[in-house]
Amino acid sequence: MKKIYIQTWGCQMNEYDSSLIANILKKKLNYTQTHHSEKADILILNTCSIREKAQEKLFHQLGRWKNLKKKNKNLIIAVGGCVSTQEKKNIYKRSSLVNIIFGPKTIHRLPKMIKEIQIKRKNIININSKKLKKYKFFKNNFKKKISSYISIMEGCNKFCSYCVVPRTRGREIHRNPQDILCEAKFLAKNGTKEIILLGQNVNSYIGTFENGLKCNLSKLIKLISNINNIKRIRFLTSNPMDFTNDLIGIYKNTPKLVNSLHLPVQSGSNQVLKKMRRKYSISEYKKIINKIKKFRPNIYITSDFIVGFPGETKKDFQKTLKLIKDIKFDISFSFIYSPRPGTSASRLKDEISLQEKKKRLYLLQREINNNIKYFSQKMIGTYQKVLVEKKIYINKKKKLFGKTENNRTVIFNGPKELIGKFSYVKISQAHMQTLRGKYKQII
């Protein structure tokens, strides 16, 4: 039986796409997935281009696979994801190892591309598609998961000045809600208890039912919450520009929607947000949070931050630190700004030294880490409702691994029968994002 090896970089949507790739190649060509690249007949790189030098990371990996190609002349190497749509034919110019270049929207065509390569041995590039045919393969070669992703849309229409996603993933295409609900019900029947809805800008989702009626994200969440076996719902990643009152309102009467929200703000300065083309102000961002907190006073808010954006002054950065203190953000992601090809921000004059950027990143992360410590320590002695996902081994000892509502990892001793169930765990230790505890009872 032939084997594929898939290496995935980047966001949760790439992880979801990689699972679809495995499903498609199993269904169409009867390939099985291996975790050992040296055993594979096809090597697939599913790439991400959000950060600087993403393409260099790609070519370094290709260099590491050079010997595998020498040993097996029939070995096929395929490159997909955002770097493939960003670099296109340039990948072939720099590496003779690559046989196939495909895009996030064309993974359903991989079987045809592979057959063509095997017959003609001629390089293929296929990155464009106006439809999302890949999603119909979600059932094939299904692996049971307690917590599962569902991608509900592709692309983004916002064109933030620093972001390459609209150029690599394209404009927004929305899945129809019937298909999403069908996938959610299928997952629920096969043991999934938590659904995480995905999109580059997930809260701009507007699907259309077969009868022509529209379905936005808040309505979709309500429909998924009606599926009995689904006990938790999350969604990633949101944009404050599209966080409408109806979406805020579902926090009032949808208990399955977790008490945690990831809402990227990027900067605490209105001046910087304007340069980023983030079409909201800090006061508008705070209003969203305050409205949600009327329904969920203890909700945990996480975010994304870009440090050292061109023109960011020390005063602008201090405003970001102040916002972190005001909102008291929990676990968040922060990066030094990196210019991406084709974006308008890449043409801005950048006079901030790398040393200063690193200093600002350190100060921001220190502030966030203080918040993480505060929230984690506050959980000691409390009983947390943990969705138990799997068993793991720590120092050769078997432990159980689960997640709280606020997305903290909890590791504790307990019987394997707890996997796939909720358990109350009394927290005894807190180590930043990881908690230790002892289970009290099954829910």
Both tokens assigned to 416: 């394997």
pLDDT at position 328: 97
Both tokens assigned to 223: 């429909």
Among left, alpha and beta (phi > 0; psi -120 to 50; other), residue 180 is alpha
Beta bridge partners of 437: 412, 427
pLDDT at position 141: 59
Both tokens assigned to 182: 């069908």
The mean pLDDT of 395-401, rounded to a whole number, is 92
The mean pLDDT of 407-422, rounded to a whole number, is 94
Residue 289 has pLDDT above 90, yes or no: yes
Both tokens assigned to 301: 């808010």
What's 257's DSSP letter?
B
Residue 64 has pLDDT above 80, yes or no: yes
Q: Which amino acid is at 248?
A: I
Are 20 and 33 in contact by the 8 Å Cβ rule? The answer is no
pLDDT single digits (tens) 225-238: 999 999 999 999 99
Tell me the whole-structure pTM to 2 decimals.
0.92
Tokens 């295409």, located at residue? 173
pLDDT at position 305: 98
Under the banding of pLDDT at 50, 70 and 90, the label for residue 120 is: confident
Both tokens assigned to 147: 């917590």
What's 227's DSSP letter?
S
What number of other Cβ atoms are within 10 A of residue 410's Cβ? 23
Question: What is the rounded distance in angstroms from the CA atom of residue 312 to the CA atom of residue 350?
Answer: 9
Residue 69 parent element (H or E): helix 66-71
pLDDT single digits (tens) 320-377: 999 999 999 999 999 999 999 889 999 999 999 999 999 999 999 999 999 999 999 9
Question: What is the rounded distance in angstroms from the CA atom of residue 344 to the CA atom of residue 161?
Answer: 5
Are 192 and 147 in contact by the 8 Å Cβ rule? The answer is yes
Where do the H-state alpha helices sit in 243-313?
A: 245-253, 270-276, 282-295
pLDDT single digits (tens) 102-119: 999 999 999 999 999 999
Residue 139 has pLDDT above 80, yes or no: no
Are 256 and 232 in contact by the 8 Å Cβ rule? The answer is yes
Kindly report the length of the chain: 443
Question: What is the rounded distance in angstroms from the CA atom of residue 302 to the CA atom of residue 404?
Answer: 15
Under the banding of pLDDT at 50, 70 and 90, the label for residue 433 is: confident
Question: What is the rounded distance in angstroms from the CA atom of residue 310 to the CA atom of residue 51?
Answer: 16
pLDDT at position 193: 97
Tokens 């084709």, located at residue? 342
What's 266's DSSP letter?
B
HSE at residue 155, side-chain half, CA atoms within 13 A, is: 19
Question: What is the rounded distance in angstroms from the CA atom of residue 105 to the CA atom of residue 115?
Answer: 19
Residue 237, preceding peptide bond in cis (omega within 30° of 0): yes
Higher pLDDT, 439 or 316: 316
3-state class of 150 per DSSP? Answer: strand
Interacting residues of 331 by C-beta distance below 8 A, sequence separation 6+: 302, 368, 372, 407, 433
**Residue 122 CB-density burial (10 A; 0-12 exposed, 13-18 middle, 19+ buried):** exposed
